[in-house]
A and B are shown apart, each in its own frame.
Chain A
């Protein structure tokens, strides 16, 4: 390595360069953070250790980045790890400019054995990412971004100048090379806060603060007895983002993974979560300098969302992407603009307490009624209760049979109203609160609730708890079945269902975090289980979530995309753990199944287990 003394003029230029770019960097970051801090609520600091662990996993190990898209993710990881390794090199580089190297010649030499390979990895990484962005150009990346071009060029120059600097150049060439390297770093510092490359700074912070629970919709408390001022304040509050949400907008790296996984988008809909839920809010935030920008979300796109949380789940920078809740509640509560079919739905919920406006349920009458001496409240939900898919009543009875065989007592509530899921997801928080209060009264003496509907399970449990204390435990029936099998309280034999696959309901997998219990149950009944390509927490929504079951006209194919995957998977039987998924599969599979192929059986976990139950009295 060449030892060079820099002139005073060079040192002044260098100092000014660092000062100016650093100041501009701080200013631009601060300008954004100031807006973030105007957001509602505070940044969560609970479960500190778990948060740190998440940062380690998702930032340093790049777990989500790589899992979501293996090759591009891995290439990005190479660049990122290179960036970490280069941290010390960069500090040393500038220190040298002032004649105070941090590393002596020997340490420098030793460290270069690590840095040189990494600089080559970075070149490979950035090269393939550049190829992807500018030549193969996947649609979700959006328009060609000139800043990405600059960044790729800068990183490449940094690596090359570093490598050249290690080769023993003549003093004059070395000096020029050193200056190029320096200026590029300073230019980088200038570019970062003004572009999506700000994720370098914000993503780790954003991942640290992101909520653990999905979905992270804030509760809307409505006091109909309150004063007009209170109401106005509450309504104004609905347009404001939380700190976390505002930080999301500036952290977005524009990779478009959220678009890739969005069922509405894949079904040919308008919704583009990256733009509609995140980037469309960036400029309004900067222009207004405040967080009351939620009304900027595209309304039509907002109504298309199935609230499946796939976008949030997949986001590599820790964004809570989905914002249909925010725009829908503004449309319903503030604007009063509600699609006609949903007005009918809300009216039914208000008048009769159920989605269908019905008063009688033959299924509920056939099942035992709950009394406090029974262990479980068997919560039916409107789907089963009012036969939204008549075949599903059989699934409920099959679950009841399993409980009978296991000797577990249960009963249905006489006055069960809709859990409120459709009202909650479609933004009618007033109707939601009405239903919630009714149901909380009905469940006042219950200690355990079990339901076949993950939407009900989520609302009765986690969502109600956002409003008031919930004193009962809510379990999904697959969890009960899974546990009964594990504890040997029921015996299940292998049946003949051909190749069996499982469709993870989004409410069960992503929102209730349950992916194992249904698999335990299914695997007890078959040796021919296989996974769909998108499974577990990375499942694809059936298309019925977010109240879309009641949407009459669908322009896209959101409701068919998943069914199509099942058809293409060559499964003989598809098992699911959600009544809505069950209904969607039943509707979608038949028309999609090619002629000549036998019909794919749709079963609930309760069906496949009950059919293969070995009981003392009954060995069917």
Chain B
């Protein structure tokens, strides 16, 4: 069983988010980066499958500049066997199709049985990359996995639907599945894991060019302002004007 886990490095939830000078993206200095939350669960799910079957390989794959090697190391410390680092400046890429193409090209020859990725990233939250990769590589796909069960060439996935409902789907392998947070209890890297990770292989892939199909025009912090309007007149007039304003301008009634 060969399992790929796609991990993304994202700004931590408590990190400040300064915007760079040309307003194209965030200013990376001053941001503290962490592993995307649901990717952590995807990694744990892969490690548990490997441990239960007592056989197989878990490969951590991340895309981005050199700083992403930190989350790669974290994955290796937790027990992944090796890693692939698709090295590039990810700033300009905001669309899942471009990203998925880069991933698919880099891992096509690996012939993974399973690809696990987080349901969505905590920064952009597109939620499509894992599914598109699956399509590109001719794999079965499922999103929002709350549980997985593996048996002879088949994976059963419990998908989260709306309003507390769930759906079980069975799919043939290979499959690309996006994982929801909370389906397992992620581990903490042990000291032995941290030490062992240093010796594990990180294969650095540098893709040639890529098409940018979408990009951010301008990144800015939403401006909020307040207006004060004085309503004058008799009590009845004031009430009428207030109701009017509530109904049509502020739209709260």
What residues make up the interface of A, taking CB atoms closer than 8 Å to B? Answer: 222, 224, 228, 231, 235, 332-338, 340, 343, 346-348, 351-352, 356-360, 430
Query: B185 on the interface (CB 8 Å rule)?
Result: yes
Asked if residues A359 and B30 are in contact (CB atoms below 8 Å), the reply is yes
Asked if residues B191 and A338 are in contact (CB atoms below 8 Å), the reply is no
Residues of A within 8 A of B193 (CB): 336
Asked if residues B195 and A231 are in contact (CB atoms below 8 Å), the reply is yes
For B, the interface residue count at a CB cutoff of 8 angstroms equals 21
In the complex, the chain A residue whose C-beta lies closest to that of B78 is A336
Asked if residues A343 and B188 are in contact (CB atoms below 8 Å), the reply is yes
In the complex, the chain A residue whose C-beta lies closest to that of B35 is A347
Q: How far is the CA of A345 from the CA of B166 in the complex (A)?
A: 32
A554 CB, min distance to chain B CBs, angstroms? 18
B5-29 contacts to A, CB under 8 A, are 12-16
Residues of A within 8 A of B14 (CB): 348, 352, 356-358
A346-B190 contact in complex given A336-B78, A351-B12, A351-B34, C-beta closer than 8 Å: no
A222-B191 contact in complex given A343-B186, A358-B14, C-beta closer than 8 Å: yes
Residues of B within 8 A of A338 (CB): 187-188
What residues make up the interface of B, taking CB atoms closer than 8 Å to A? Answer: 12-16, 30, 32-34, 78, 185-195
Residues of B within 8 A of A347 (CB): 12, 34
Residues of B within 8 A of A358 (CB): 14
Asked if residues A360 and B188 are in contact (CB atoms below 8 Å), the reply is no
Q: How far is the CA of A335 from the CA of B187 in the complex (A)?
A: 9
Asked if residues A430 and B32 are in contact (CB atoms below 8 Å), the reply is no
Residues of B within 8 A of A235 (CB): 191-192
Q: How far is the CA of A360 from the CA of B193 in the complex (A)?
A: 33
A224-B195 contact in complex given A357-B12, A359-B15, C-beta closer than 8 Å: yes
Q: How far is the CA of A347 from the CA of B186 in the complex (A)?
A: 13
Asked if residues B190 and A360 are in contact (CB atoms below 8 Å), the reply is no
Residues of A within 8 A of B34 (CB): 347, 351
B72 CB, min distance to chain A CBs, angstroms? 16
Q: How far is the CA of A358 from the CA of B12 in the complex (A)?
A: 10
Q: A336 contacts which of B30, B33, B187 (Cβ < 8 Å)?
A: B187
Asked if residues B190 and A336 are in contact (CB atoms below 8 Å), the reply is yes
Asked if residues A430 and B30 are in contact (CB atoms below 8 Å), the reply is no
A366 CB, min distance to chain B CBs, angstroms? 19
B180 CB, min distance to chain A CBs, angstroms? 15
Q: How far is the CA of A228 from the CA of B191 in the complex (A)?
A: 11
Asked if residues A334 and B192 are in contact (CB atoms below 8 Å), the reply is yes
In the complex, the chain A residue whose C-beta lies closest to that of B14 is A357
In the complex, the chain A residue whose C-beta lies closest to that of B12 is A357
In the complex, the chain A residue whose C-beta lies closest to that of B191 is A333
Asked if residues A340 and B185 are in contact (CB atoms below 8 Å), the reply is yes
Asked if residues B194 and A335 are in contact (CB atoms below 8 Å), the reply is no
Q: How far is the CA of A338 from the CA of B189 in the complex (A)?
A: 9
Q: How far is the CA of A228 from the CA of B199 in the complex (A)?
A: 11
